[in-house]
Amino acid sequence: MSRIVVVGDLLLDRDVAGTVDRVCPDAPVPVVDVETEHARPGGAGLAAAMLAADGHHVCLVTAVGDDAAGHRVSGLLRQHGVELVAMPTEGRTREKTRVRAHGQSLVRLDTGTVCAPTGVPAAARTAVEGADAVLVCDYAGGMTGDAAVRAGLTAAAARVPVVWDPHLRGAAPVEGTRLVTPNQSEAAALAGGAVDGAPLTALAGQIEQLRDRWSVHAVCATLGPRGALLTLGSGAPIAVPAPPVPGGDTCGAGDRFASAAAAALADGEMVSAAVQLAVEAASAYVGAGGAEAFHSPAAPGTSAPRDPWERIESIRARGGTVVATGGCFDLLHAGHIRLLRDARALGDCLVVCLNSDASVRRLKGPQRPLVPEADRARVLQALEPVDAVLVFEQDTPVEALRRLKPHVWAKGGDYALTDLPEAAEVARWGGQTVVLPYLDGRSTTSLIDAARNRVTS
């Protein structure tokens, strides 16, 4: 995975949730009977935690107040596996508390002050210089306006992709930024146009204006459930529709979009492909419950391979059946699709145990795989039957299965259970191994041979 540095303003976000069944006797306001309180990193911290949940090595460069909120959010970041480079500040850590009932926000309470840095330590400069990509999360806290911080970001933009999530009261992106990601209202306001309900033609002109003004490579306006509109400065703007998702908590969707785009660019994707992946990630994040559901490093909402444990445990907790299957899945074909659909039909979720590149080479020879593991995992994760992908390094999936402990292990092909070394292991925890029918004549090897024959004939 990539090394991604997040630079921006840190917040502590708290959700206080409860139920409402009466109003206050001295005012027409609801009385919330508090049931739970959940704290998480906010602002640039949320984006960093999301990237760490995706498996990236993440360093957050930010100013942190020496106060209770600062200490708490620093601890939360460490729990999420985020390396923190704390810059000195005289400000007090900002804290945003949402009071929610029955899935709806009733009020938000904001405390704290602007936490602009009072100095840039050498560790911050070193972190940015060693990044594969940099994500800037501007929450108008003063980080992006600091001259030394901007100088470091300008130098970074000349070497690696920089993604900038702007704020109306924040600083302009540095020259050379690869992608700027305002939402529709921010883009219109920053361009000096209509804020709400602007036609697509007007919005396209606004983001092109911003691209030229800032001297950046691309600007992408996010459109909520309608997806995103991207301008690259040549040709027509690119509209990226969003997949339909059920209504959910949209808090943090912009951070999910920007973080997914930064990760994709760090992996070498083109800007247009990165935006497509970011739209899918943000949609999945909202559909999975948004910020309210972000409790651990295994939070949902990314199209990249992710840790399947949270999904598995939620299925187990409600008495569901966890199904797993495995293989190389190099050059996906109709036989693979049949296997995945049949396996998913056996239970309530499907985890694919995927051979790593090194594992495939040992099994199939030095010319395989044709498709690297990151791309194979991404394609699998995008398929409707697949809930999660787990890459394993060994020649067999036995170690992965010991960790997963699925109720059902499904293999495709003409096997007897004695042919499968993992069958005995699955039986140890009461699981069942089954063999699924495979479509005759469909295999990656036959596809490679057919392609080779056509080239030589």
Pairing state of beta strands 219-222 and 228-231? antiparallel
348 is an active site residue: no
CA distance 276 to 286: 16
CA distance 351 to 186: 39
Dig out the tokens for 362 from the structure. Answer: 């040992």
Which element (helix H / strand E) includes 233? none
Provide the b/e sequence for 330-363 (b: ≥16 CB within 10 Å): bbbbebbebbbebbbebbbbbbbbbbbbebbeee
Q: Terminal CA-to-CA distance of the chain, rounded, Å? A: 40
Number of helices followed by number of strands (H, E) in the chain: 15, 18
Dig out the tokens for 99 from the structure. Answer: 């009071």
CA distance 449 to 432: 35
Which residue bears the tokens 């926000």?
Answer: 105
CA distance 20 to 169: 35
Cα→Cα distances 163→264, 279, 329, 408, 411, Å? 11, 15, 32, 42, 42
DSSP 373-442: HHHHHHHHHHSTT--EEEEE-SSSSHHHHHHH--SEEEEESS--GGG-HHHHHHHHTT-EEEEE---TT-
The single residue of 255, 342, 357, 387 carrying the catalytic annotation is: 255
Amino acid at 123: A
CA distance 59 to 426: 39
The sign of the dihedral angle between the CA atoms of 302, 375, 264, 122 is: positive
Residues recognised as catalytic? 255
